[in-house]
Amino acid sequence: MPDVPLSDSPLLSARSLTKYYGRQLGCADVSFDIHEGEVLAVVGESGSGKSTLLGLLSTELEPSAGQVLYRMRDGETRDLLALTEAERRFLLRTDWGFVRQDAREGLRMGVSAGGNVGERLMAIGARHYGNIRGAALDWLGRVEIASDRIDETPAAFSGGMRQRLQIARNLVTHPRLVFMDEPTSGLDVSVQARLLDLIRGLVAELGLAVIIVTHDLAVARLLSHRIMVMRHGRVVETGLTDQVLDDPQEAYSQLLVSSVLAA
């Protein structure tokens, strides 16, 4: 578990977030705070509402009720629903990252690796080709992608490399908050371990706040300070990761931890 000093006021606060898809409940009454430098894992079985929650927090989905408050870079805390389109774009392009399970959704598959990283910089106004390429090279190095692959498209990359490229693309703008949706699922165990190591190192080094959705409790254990267990769209239990995993209080969390449930 990374050891990072935490700041005083929350970076993001979810307040009674609720989402219905028609009559189908996505998630209900979810509230929590996250601070800079803090990693929160959201765990639960398939259909428990994890992706819905991530969609609400990142403004991809509109809540049926509740709100998300976010402390902007100027220090002002804002209701995400009340942001202008330009402010929302700034968050999505600069202050937030989003690492997706399927790299094809998080990368531009027809654009070179260097272009994938450089594009995020250009979106925030970088224009100097040499600087952009330099920053892209630097970030490819940090995620352990050899510099001679910079002009290749991610279509030629392995699953692990694609995820590392997604990380570089997201982190190049120095976001404060990164959403991760099952970033290591579907990869071989050894590739997963290397990726988790990399994520863990970068998160600690950069003091990132991360909200990571995972069905894998080992991933939650390795990366997160706090854990939130969800079931049927509701939060069942929340607490420090080691406490919840070593001594779950709720019957459902006990089942989840004891692997009785296929999470």
Contacts with ligand ATP by CB under 6 A lie at 21, 24, 26, 44, 46-52, 215, 233
As measured in angstroms, the least distance from the Cβ of 171 to ligand ATP is 24
**Cβ proximity to ligand ATP, 132 vs 244, nearer residue:** 244
Minimal CA–CA distance to 263: which of 248, 208, 106? 248
Whole-number minimum distance, CB 259 to ligand ATP, in Å? 17
Query: Least separation, in Å, of the C-beta of 44 and ligand ATP?
Result: 5
Residues sharing a CB contact under 8 Å with residue 73, sequence separation 6 or more, in sequence order: 95, 176
Record the tokens describing residue 108, joined without a space.
């531009």
Cβ proximity to ligand ATP: between 139 and 179 the closer is 179
Least Cα distance to 30 among 244, 254, 232 occurs for 232
Shortest distance, CB of residue 238 to ligand ATP, whole angstroms?
Answer: 16
What 3-state DSSP class applies to 120?
A: helix
How far apart are CB 194 and ligand ATP at their closest, in Å?
A: 23
**CA contacts within 13 A on the Cβ side of 11:** 23
List helix spans (H) across the chain.
Answer: 50-57, 85-90, 103-106, 113-123, 129-142, 159-171, 189-206, 217-223, 241-246, 251-257
| CA–CA gap between residue 184 and residue 99 (Å, rounded) | 10
C-alpha to C-alpha distance for 207 and 210, rounded to whole angstroms: 9
Is the Cβ of residue 21 or residue 129 nearer to ligand ATP in the bound state?
21
Shortest Å, Cβ 57 to ligand ATP: 12
Choice between 27 and 171, CB closer to ligand ATP: 27
Instruction: Quote the Cα angle for 5-9-13, to 5°.
Output: 110
Nearer to ligand ATP, 51 or 94 (CB): 51
Distance CA 173, CA 164 (A): 15
Candidates 250, 246, 247; CA nearest to 237 is 250
**Please, which residue, 46 or 259, has the CB nearer to ligand ATP?**
46
CB of 20 to ligand ATP, least distance (A): 9
Of the two residues 50 and 169, which places its CB atom closer to ligand ATP in the complex? 50
